[in-house]
Amino acid sequence: MYNRRKGFVKWAFGGKYNLEAYLFLIHRITGIALALYLPVHIIVTSMRIFGPESWKAIMERVAHSPISAFGEWLLVVAVAIHALNGMRLILTELGMFIGRPSRPAYPYRNSIDRQRVLSWTVMVLSAVFIIWSVVAFSPRFFH
Amino acid sequence: MEKVKDVVFRILRYSPEDGKPTWSEYEVPVIKGMTVLQGLFHIKETQDPTLSFRASCRMGVCGSCAMKVNGKHILACQTQILKLHADVLNVEPLSNYNVIKDLVPDLFPMFEKHATVKPYIIRYSDPEEFNDPTGEYLQLPDELEEYLQFSYCIKCGACVSACPVVSGDEDFLGPQALTQAYRYAVDTRDEGYIVDRDVVSDIVSGVFRCHFVGACSDACPKGVDPGMALQLLKKELFLNSFGLKRKKKTAGFHRIDFNAPPPPDAPKPPPKTVEG
């Protein structure tokens, strides 16, 4: 016997899935990125316990380079996608937009199909938000 | 029936003696209406008798022949080759299981998990009723609709194979077992509810590991929709933990006197024929 359970990186490339499965992958990636960002953020902002000078010094170093502007933009994008998709998940996991159980009749229409309008809403709103953030961040990129 | 076209079956072969899964190619002449399972039988009969796969009923009822074809979970017996619109079919066994040989997965872990959620009706008020029945439980059509869809599960294992959470952690019960937990928890005849099936709210194996990826509902060949069952189970647990759940309806009971003479207007049984 050999094991075909190989973690979800292999899962992601091992088949063709519905739209929400790929939203799940993006949700997981942005979630891990945000979790890694949070301790860094806390360390940087905690510099002010050493007084205003050290705060200013670290802000000089971190906040005014184009690289950190790009990083901040990535953060905004990650937060937007994660938050919007998270709201979709809260609604569906509380039983909204997924319909009621009914006798299956071919061609099957399941709960995923019924809530797909939410998925498209999340994607359109994310796209709008990303375009807006590019416009809002452009003065800092080309500073 | 004349041949429509030749389709190449690329099958992920594995033999315990060789130890490493490899792809083999077989060319199959496809006629109109031919299913993937018929293609596999054609290979076994004419090209390679060592090919192993599970199949029994050929009509999507037994749940033996679930496999992955071109990345999609299907029942081989109810999927027509021409409907797949492909010249090459990549046929793989189900993911998230151990593979015994070729296309035969070891489904035993799924059945083990299925047993842990107590997939049967639990009675406390009349425990002797099941061994010695004295009547029938009454259930309204609306109450039947609550769980009927989830009782169509044929235990083919496709949903567990599609689940990314199971692929990351085998302790997770998986869509199949949790769907059956919901099916029995909302049955009005059942008195165990989600309280007795406490494994569903477990932090490691329980339903809150589910992220509503929806791959299970997409994979299900019978339209059971495990994704919906798991979200409804989450809702049930959520409302129950905050005391917001209205009291669960219980089925009525109709006592039948099995020894009573039939009513006068009852249809007469057909006369017994004498043998010989």
Which of B22, B211, B213, B233 to mutate to probe the A interface, most A CBs <10 Å? B213
Under an 8 A CB cutoff, do A93 and B166 touch? no
Do B115 and B97 belong to one domain? no
Residue that is last in its domain, among B50, B74, B105: B105
With 90 as the cut, is the pLDDT of residue B89 above it? Answer: yes
Do B172 and B71 belong to one domain? no
Do B120 and B87 belong to one domain? no
Residues 75-134 of B with CB under 8 A from A: 93-100, 105-106
CATH number of the domain enclosing B62: 3.10.20.30
Cβ neighbours around B133 below 10 Å, total: 12
pLDDT in tens, B255-275: 888 788 877 887 877 777 776
Question: In angstroms, what separates the C-alpha of B236 from chain A's closest C-alpha?
Answer: 9
From residue B141, give the alpha-carbon distance in Å to each of A20, A103, B148. Answer: 33, 12, 10
Q: Is residue B265 part of a domain?
A: no
Do B250 and B138 belong to one domain? yes
Contact B52, B101 (CB under 8 A): yes
Residue that is last in its domain, among B58, B80, B105: B105
Question: pLDDT value at position B275?
Answer: 67
B265: phi then psi, degrees, rounded to nearest 5: -90, 10
Question: pLDDT value at position A135?
Answer: 93
Cβ neighbours around B222 below 10 Å, total: 19
Q: Is residue B216 part of a domain?
A: yes
- Can you give the residue range of the structural domain that contains B179? 108-254
Task: Provide the CATH topology of domain A4-141.
Answer: 3 helical TM bundles of succinate and fumarate reductases (1.20.1300)
Find chain B residues with C-beta within 8 A of A103's C-beta: 145, 148-149
Q: Is residue B139 part of a domain?
A: yes
Question: pLDDT value at position B254?
Answer: 86
- pLDDT 10s per residue in chain A (143 long)? 888 888 878 888 888 999 999 999 999 999 999 999 999 889 888 888 888 888 888 888 777 778 888 888 999 999 999 999 999 999 999 999 999 999 999 889 999 999 999 999 999 999 999 999 999 988 877 76
Q: Is residue B269 part of a domain?
A: no
Contact B65, B19 (CB under 8 A): no
Residue with the two structure tokens 């799924």: B110
Q: How far is residue B212's CA from residue A20's CA, in Å, rounded to a whole number? A: 8
Do B59 and B114 belong to one domain? no
A105: left (phi over 0), alpha (psi -120 to 50) or beta: beta
Residues 133-172 of B with CB under 8 A from A: 145-150, 152, 162, 164-168, 170
Q: Does A66 touch chain B (CB under 8 A)?
A: no
Question: pLDDT value at position A143?
Answer: 61
Residue with the two structure tokens 């029936």: B1
Q: Is residue B202 part of a domain?
A: yes
Contact B149, B61 (CB under 8 A): no
Question: pLDDT value at position B45?
Answer: 96
pLDDT in tens, B180-207: 999 999 999 998 888 899 999 999 999 9
Q: Is residue B274 part of a domain?
A: no
Do B122 and B17 belong to one domain? no
Cβ partners under 8 Å of residue A11, min gap 6:
B95, B164, B167, B168
Which of A4, A26, A103, A118 to mutate to probe the B interface, most B CBs <10 Å? A4
Question: pLDDT value at position B50?
Answer: 94
Under an 8 A CB cutoff, do B215 and A106 touch? no
Mean of the pLDDT values across residues B38-59?
95
Find chain A residues with C-beta within 8 A of B237's C-beta: none
What tokens appear for B150 in the block?
Answer: 């989830």
Q: B75: which strand partners?
A: B66
CATH number of the domain enclosing B131: 1.10.1060.10
Do B51 and B142 belong to one domain? no
Residue that is last in its domain, among B72, B105, B138: B105
pTM assigned to the model: 0.90
Q: Does A29 touch chain B (CB under 8 A)?
A: no
Do B127 and B228 belong to one domain? yes
Tell me if residue A124 falls in helix, strand or coil. helix
pLDDT in tens, A79-104: 999 999 999 999 999 999 999 999 99
Parse chain A into domains and list their residue ranges. Answer: 4-141
Indicate the number of domains in chain B: 2
Question: pLDDT value at position B130?
Answer: 82
Nearest CA in chain A to B169: A7
Q: Is residue B262 part of a domain?
A: no
